[in-house]
Amino acid sequence: WWCSGFYPGTLLYLYQQTKDQVLLTEADRMLNILQKEQYNKTTHDLGFMMYCSFGNALKIDPKPEYKQILINSAKSLSTRFNPKVGVIKSWDSSKPEYLVIIDNMMNLELLFWATRATGDSSFYKIAVTHANTTMKNHFRPDYSSYHVINYNPKNGVVQQKKTAQGYADESAWARGQAWSLYGYTVMYRETKDKKYLDQAQHIASFILQNPNLPKDKIPYWDYNAPNIPDALRDASAASVMASALLELGKYADPKNAQLYFSTSETILKNLSAAPYKAKPGTNGGFILAHSVGHIPQKTEVDVPLTYADYYFVEAMIRYKNLNKNQQP
């Protein structure tokens, strides 16, 4: 399951902060279940699944087996790259199509790590090629992103630009915009290529200057949802945004850095209170309520979601470290 790395990853983030052994024990139990996925070549989500979990575990305890699991995961992810198309395939299809979603930008961090760990530059090259092809085809002139691009698998020509989880093909699905913001921030961190910093800042401008971004900075599930201001909010999009903006601020000029920081701070303060932060013992044990998974399919609508918690905790740690003048 694409989300299976977030629960152990969150536990490991919390263990890092608290040194509570109960958290580590439960994380280890989940890692044991998850490790077989290192050989899974049917998903593009190995970054989410393995880097958010084993990547966090490696930072706490640099075990050789964790490193090998991550290398194998990067190799499995690389098998989904088609040089003719220039991107990693997201969803398999029986039709003559090659589907890539903006979420896939989040899986590239694993590939950069793998090049550092092995010295094999092929992982790095795949990540850069995927990011460049996505930059060319996924974005509109206002730097909002489509959700899904359908490529011709034989020659890489774009056949269709559409949505799956957003309101409409031409709308701006909130979590998709957050994934792209986070993804291109990571691209700049890993390559120091200024075009990625520019891209991330353009995406940030689209989000932060959007007339439909509420005052509390917790976005509606889609910036073009038809029933704004009564549309559902998406705490998961807010969490990803907050974490990304805290990192992006490190690379920005002072004026933008302050804007990114203050926006993240607003998001975190609002997520840390009702109605978003659940009372202990409620909400199925999740930290945050009110996320939106897939409205068109009517699944995971206005519910807690594991990745909302993961990026919320990550953002809180980054915020705490920034306030201690450390690296996020």
Tell me the per-residue pLDDT of 208-222, one tens digit each, with 9 for 90 and over: 999 999 999 999 999
Q: Does 104 reside within a domain?
A: yes
* Domain finish residue from 30, 58, 79: 79
Instruction: Residue 274: count other Cβ atoms within 10 Å of its Cβ.
Output: 9
Please tell me whether residues 47 and 96 are part of one structural domain. no
Q: What is the pLDDT confidence band of residue 325, given thresholds at 50, 70 and 90?
A: low
Percent of the chain with pLDDT over 90: 95
With 80 as the cut, is the pLDDT of residue 286 above it? yes
Residues 117 and 225 in one domain: yes
Q: Which of 55, 79, 103 is the last residue of a domain?
A: 79
Q: Which domain holds residue 47?
A: 1-79
Is 328 contained in some domain? no
Domain stops at, among 79, 106, 132: 79
Does residue 196 lie within any of the structural domains? Answer: yes
Two tokens, residue 206: 């689209």
CA distances from 184 to 85, 202, 254 (A): 20, 10, 19
Q: Are residues 58 and 190 in the same domain?
A: no
In the residue annotation, 103 being an active-site residue is answered as yes
Residues 49 and 190 reside in one and the same domain: no
- Is 229 among the domain residues? yes
Tell me the mean pLDDT in the region 248-277. Answer: 98
Structure tokens at 202: 């353009």
Which of the four pLDDT bands, split at 50, 70 and 90, describes residue 71?
very high
- Chain centroid to Cα 234, Å, comes to 14
C-alpha distances in angstroms, 14 versus 18, 22, 157, 250, 299?
6, 11, 44, 23, 28
Task: Determine whether 230 is an active site residue.
Answer: no
Q: Which of these is catalytic: 28, 45, 120, 253?
A: 45
The active-site residue, picked from 92, 103, 216, 222, is 103
